[in-house]
């Protein structure tokens, strides 16, 4: 191939590359509002489905929906005034958490909790909490300390008012603050994931007589150990706080049985 031909070919390739680049840029510019809009819509959808999940989760925990009940998408959509899409997303989230089974030809069914599996999950949760507490006592930062004190005070107020719903959400923030304070992102992720799976059962525990006040007393003891930097005491107290053993396990099973029977 002669030099003029090579030069012409190089010029053609260069022009094509420029043309592709210009076209890509133009497409990107024209698509940008659409992408932003779709992203915003997706975010709103996820927020709505998460809110719906919390509402359905609460009704499962309190027995409004019993094990074996069918969760009809159409009925739920009508009831909450939404389309079926966020309902379907909420049910999928509950399925991942083990609260709902998605069955072929039947749709979503409220799961019947297996006591052995529950105790296994709480056992692991206690170990993860202990690890987070041990690390947090050594690595606590001023921001971590402030968040712990804030959530501890919020839990105290809710406990004094006997407000189990507020206590439940502040309790979640309290434990999340400890996970973050551990300084170990991976352990914190695992702890948070399992915490979410056990959330409805922990919520049910709070309805056991005097459990909320006992929980708050345990929180205060845990925070004291963390602020003192006593890693072993923090780990032991968190393990004991979360572990479902003896009377506490019997109370949980009794509560589950009552919910199923009502």
User: Tokens 């979360």 map to which residue?
Assistant: 242
pLDDT band at 154 (very low <50, low <70, confident <90, very high): very high
Shortest CA distance to 88 belongs to which of 49, 129, 31, 57? Answer: 49
Query: In the predicted model, is pLDDT for residue 13 greater than 60?
Result: no
pLDDT band at 177 (very low <50, low <70, confident <90, very high): very high
Measured from the Cβ of residue 256, the count of other Cβ atoms closer than 10 Å reads 19
DSSP state of 65: S
- Residue 14: the pLDDT is 46
- What average pLDDT is seen over the chain? 81
> Length of the chain in residues, anyone?
262
The CA distance from 1 to 230, in Å, is 79
Instruction: Average the pLDDT over 91-107 and give the result.
Output: 88
Extended strands (E) in the chain: 70-71, 100-103, 107-110
The CA distance from 175 to 218, in Å, is 12
Which is higher by pLDDT, 201 or 72?
72
- pLDDT digits over 37-73, tens only? 433 444 555 578 889 998 998 788 666 888 889 999 9
Which is higher by pLDDT, 86 or 18?
86
Query: In the predicted model, is pLDDT for residue 26 greater than 50?
Result: no
pLDDT band at 247 (very low <50, low <70, confident <90, very high): low
Measured from the Cβ of residue 103, the count of other Cβ atoms closer than 10 Å reads 10
- Residue 148: the pLDDT is 97
Domains of the chain: 3-110 (1.10.10.10), 115-261 (1.20.120.530)
Which is higher by pLDDT, 118 or 229?
229
HEC assignment per residue over 125-166: HHHHHHHHHHHHHHHCCHHHHHHHHHHHHHHHHHHHHCCHHH
C-alpha pair distances (Å), 149 with each of 146, 155, 175, 179: 5, 10, 12, 15
Query: In the predicted model, is pLDDT for residue 256 greater than 80?
Result: no
- Residue 31: the pLDDT is 43
The CA distance from 235 to 252, in Å, is 23
Query: In the predicted model, is pLDDT for residue 5 greater than 50?
Result: no
Q: Which two tokens stand for residue 16?
A: 């094509």
Query: In the predicted model, is pLDDT for residue 167 greater than 60?
Result: yes
Instruction: Average the pLDDT over 224-253 and give the result.
Output: 85
Count of H-run helices and E-run strands, the chain: 10, 3
Shortest CA distance to 93 belongs to which of 46, 60, 128? Answer: 46
């Amino acid at each position: 191939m002669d030099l003029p031909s090579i030069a012409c070919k190089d010029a053609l390739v260069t022009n094509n590359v420029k043309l592709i680049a210009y076209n890509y840029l133009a497409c990107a510019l024209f698509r940008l509002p659409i992408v932003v809009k779709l992203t915003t819509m997706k975010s709103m959808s996820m927020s709505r489905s998460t809110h719906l999940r919390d509402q359905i989760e609460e009704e499962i925990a309190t027995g409004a929906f019993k094990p074996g009940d069918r969760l009809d998408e159409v009925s739920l959509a009508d009831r909450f005034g939404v389309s079926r899409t966020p309902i379907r997303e909420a049910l999928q989230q509950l399925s991942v958490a083990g609260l709902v089974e998605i069955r072929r030809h039947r749709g979503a069914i409220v799961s019947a909790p297996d006591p052995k599996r529950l105790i296994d999950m709480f056992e692991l949760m206690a170990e993860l909490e202990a690890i987070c507490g041990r690390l947090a006592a050594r690595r606590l930062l001023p921001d971590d300390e402030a968040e712990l004190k804030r959530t501890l005070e919020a839990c105290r107020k809710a406990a004094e008012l006997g407000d189990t719903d507020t206590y439940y959400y502040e309790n979640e923030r309290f434990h999340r603050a400890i996970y973050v304070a551990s300084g170990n992102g991976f352990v914190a992720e695992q702890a948070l994931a399992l915490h979410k799976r056990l959330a409805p059962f922990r919520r049910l525990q709070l309805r056991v007589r005097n459990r909320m006040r006992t929980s708050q007393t345990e929180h205060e003891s845990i925070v004291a150990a963390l602020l003192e930097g006593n890693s072993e005491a923090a780990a032991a107290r968190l393990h004991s706080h979360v572990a479902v053993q003896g009377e506490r396990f019997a109370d949980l099973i009794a509560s589950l049985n009552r919910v199923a029977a009502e």
